[in-house]
Amino acid sequence: MWMKRAGQWVLDVVKGALIGGGAILPGISGGVLAVAFGVYQPLMALLAHPIQTLRRSWSLFVPLLVGWVLGFLGLARLVVLLFEVSAVWTVALFVGLIAGMLPSLFRDANRFGASPRAWSFFTGSLIVLYALFLAISRGQAISIAPNGWWYFFCGITWGLSLVVPGLSSSSLLILLGLYQSLTAGIVQLDMAVLLPWLAGLVVTVALTARLVTWLLQRYYTYVYYVILGIVVASTLMIIPVQFTSALNFLGALASAAVGFAIAWGMDRMGRKQGSPETAVE
């Protein structure tokens, strides 16, 4: 029994680390990875009712939080180094991770059955969000002088990307010219950056998490299919399409395959240990 619990704990730490690392990377949504790893709904319950949810399911959230901190402060730095080696290969790795979790996502979405109407929600969200992301990605980057109010705005966008999977705050902040100063402030623990950023994040999560939880409780299948559309749309946006050489292309394929294999193995391990999504109701 203790080995099973230890295995689940390690798995949750790894999931938290990947979510934390993904939260700070351009084009990668921590919310998407939370959905992909089957912990999105429990996290929404935690954000909506923190004390009540922690009392009931602390054994799930402690390793996730530990992993998130490690990923946000540690794995993100490692992935930044990987980006310096090859941005294409690194993004391909995350695409493979998300793709490898899609079968389990659809299993979760169909927990209470599916219908043609649910698929229409999926298709609609996929088309609308893909068009939105495409319009944002084609915009011209602008430069804004960062200050406390802008860092508060950064917290708002980060909070939205946490609650709404697929909305990558990093991509928007790069477009506004705020990403580099924000991440530098976080790494240096600059209170002039951290305090307004955290304030914006907390306010946004507090105002939106309960709404998302309420929607999941009453319209689970439809909401989940909308989320799946967002996940697929955001993943399509970050698939590498430009390669400098045949080696670069083959390396991207290999990275995606590695990511897919990791996700498949984590899903298999998670199903043996028990699904986290059912841990918090």
pLDDT digit string, tens, across residues 36-68 = 677 777 877 777 777 777 777 777 788 888 888
Flag whether pLDDT at 7 surpasses 50.
yes
Q: What is the pLDDT of residue 170?
A: 66
Q: Cβ distance 252 to 92 under 8 Å?
A: yes
Question: Residues 76-109, buried b or exposed e (16+ Cβ, 10 A)?
Answer: beebeebeeebebbbbbbbbbbbbbbbebbeebb
Predicted TM-score (pTM) above 0.75: no
Q: What is the pLDDT of residue 151?
A: 92
d(CA 162, CA 204): 10
Percent of the chain with pLDDT over 70: 79
Tens digits of residue pLDDT in 184-225: 787 788 899 889 999 998 888 888 888 877 887 788 888 888
Classify 144 as helix, strand or coil. Answer: coil
| Mean pLDDT value across residues 225-238 | 83
Residues 6+ apart with CB under 8 A from 178: 144, 146, 150, 151, 153, 154
Pick from 125, 95, 107, 104: which is nearest to 230 by CA? Answer: 125
Q: What is the pLDDT of residue 145?
A: 78
